[in-house]
Amino acid sequence: MAAYLKGATADYYEEESANITGWAGGNAANNLKDLLIARFASDSVRDVWYDNYLNCRQGSIESVKEYSNHFKKLQKKVDSNNGTPAANTI
């Protein structure tokens, strides 16, 4: 994993490597994906993600499956801890 990181992300990985247990899943405090997002995604980037999530609409030529996948991807960005009730997602 570390071989693909460069610059500030590589430095951050070196600082936190003792606490990292994998790329994703499990405890957000121990997986690299959530640690990198928490460290490097600014509030303005998170606002854009949330705006995209709120304004997600099915395109005229987009299948239901494609729309569902797009929606779920956006939902994971704004709610990486799966705090949204199942009734509020598709």
pLDDT tens by residue, 79-90: 877 777 777 766
Based on the fold, state whether residues 48 and 80 are members of the same structural domain: yes
Question: Would you mind telling me the total number of residues written for the chain in this entry?
Answer: 90
Based on the fold, state whether residues 30 and 61 are members of the same structural domain: no
Reported pTM:
0.59
As given in the structure block, the two tokens for residue 54 are 């709120």
pLDDT tens-digit profile of 23-81? 777 666 678 888 888 888 888 988 998 999 999 999 999 999 999 999 988 988 888 77
Helices 7-16 and 32-40: crossing angle in degrees, nearest 10, is 120
Based on the fold, state whether residues 8 and 28 are members of the same structural domain: yes
Cα separation, 37 vs 4, in Å, equals: 16
Task: State the residue range of the domain holding 49.
Answer: 42-90
Based on the fold, state whether residues 35 and 47 are members of the same structural domain: no
Based on the fold, state whether residues 55 and 82 are members of the same structural domain: yes
Per the structure, the count of domains in the chain is 2
Strand runs (DSSP E) across the chain, as ranges? none
Based on the fold, state whether residues 57 and 31 are members of the same structural domain: no
Based on the fold, state whether residues 49 and 32 are members of the same structural domain: no
Based on the fold, state whether residues 24 and 51 are members of the same structural domain: no
Based on the fold, state whether residues 63 and 81 are members of the same structural domain: yes
Based on the fold, state whether residues 3 and 35 are members of the same structural domain: yes
